Every structure is written in structure tokens, then in C-alpha cells.
Amino acid sequence: MRTLRSSDRWRLSLPRYVAPGTLRAEYARRMIRWKVGWAALVGCALGAAVVTARLPARSFSLSCSKTQELHAPDLAHADATCASSTLYAFGLWPPIQIFLVLAVPAIVAGVVARRWVSALAAVAYVVSIGCGVIHWDSWLIVLLPAGALLAVLALVLTLLQPTRA
């Protein structure tokens, strides 16, 4: 009696009319599209971070609209004005946070490639919309439009993602 090797075990689970490796190869080809889709969402997150860095500080500071002066405890440069970019006024941390909050769910969903993880990524984007609403008076409001766009795209990717055969 011949013992089964680990390479033979997966063949037993395939239907007899399918050549070994065909289902796995077809599934891998279909999943490449979805991984590219999740990579596009990471690109959108990078775009949101770049836009956040380039927007003027008056977009995020209520003191600019009230007194035309930038008063914030977390200024990176003391000479920053309302016309200064967010990158100059608040430093590098706000764009990095925006990128991390918006990119990590897409990276995880693209790497794991399971439908339930993709659904959790879509939920994470909905939560980021809530964070944008709660923090409407700071630079975190960028999470509102970016999170809404990414939530819709993630939901579409999740609903159209193929499952294993």
C-alpha cells in the first residue's frame, strides 16, 4: 500500500473530471484582478495623503476662519500662517496618519484575498467616515470624503470578489 505524500492530498479533494492544478490556476488568475483593485485603493489612499499635505492650513483650522491667525498647539513651525500648507504647518504626521488609516485595510484585504477580510476592510472605511465626522474641526475631516470613496470601492470589490471553487 502506497502512502500519500503531501503533494497528493490536495488532488483528492478535486473532482475527478478536473485535471490537477486547473482549479487553483484559474482561481489564481481571477484573484490577480482583485489584488490589482486593492492596490488601486492603496493608490487612492496615497492620493488622499498627498492632497492633505498640500491643502492650506486654513482648511483645517477654525482659528483661521475666525481671527485669520493660525493658533494650534501642535504646530510644527511657529511662523506658519493660514496660507501655509498642512505639511509645513502641522508637520509630516497628519499625511502619514491619513495614509495609514486609509491604506492598511486595502493592503490587508489584498494580501489575504478572502471575502470576509474584504468585508472587514469595507467596514473599516465606514468607521473612518465616522472618525471624519467626529473630528470635523481638524485635519481628520479628510477621512470623510476619502473614506466614503474608498468604502464604496471596497464594497464593490467585496461583492464582486470571486470565492474559491
Is the confidence at residue 53, as pLDDT, over 70?
Answer: yes
Report the C-alpha gap between 49 and 122 in whole angstroms. 19
The 10s digit of each residue's pLDDT in 73-114 is: 667 777 888 888 888 888 898 899 999 999 999 999 999 888
Q: Contact, 154 vs 121, CB < 8 A?
A: yes
What is residue 107's predicted lDDT score, i.e. its pLDDT? Answer: 95
> Stretch 50-74: mean pLDDT, rounded?
81
Q: Contact, 122 vs 158, CB < 8 A?
A: yes
Report the C-alpha gap between 15 and 34 in whole angstroms. 26
How would DSSP label each residue in 107-124?
A: HHHHHH--HHHHHHHHHH
Q: What is the pTM of this model?
A: 0.76
Q: Contact, 105 vs 121, CB < 8 A?
A: yes
Amino acid identity for residue 92 in this structure: L
Read off the DSSP letter of residue 83.
T
What's the Rg (C-alpha) of the chain? 23
88 Cα distance to chain centroid: 25
Domain residue extents for the chain: 26-160
3-state DSSP: the chain helix, strand, coil percent, rounded to 5?
A: 70, 0, 30
Report the C-alpha gap between 115 and 152 in whole angstroms. 15
The 10s digit of each residue's pLDDT in 114-157 is: 889 999 999 999 999 999 899 888 888 889 999 999 999 999 99
Report the C-alpha gap between 144 and 129 in whole angstroms. 5
Report the C-alpha gap between 148 and 152 in whole angstroms. 6
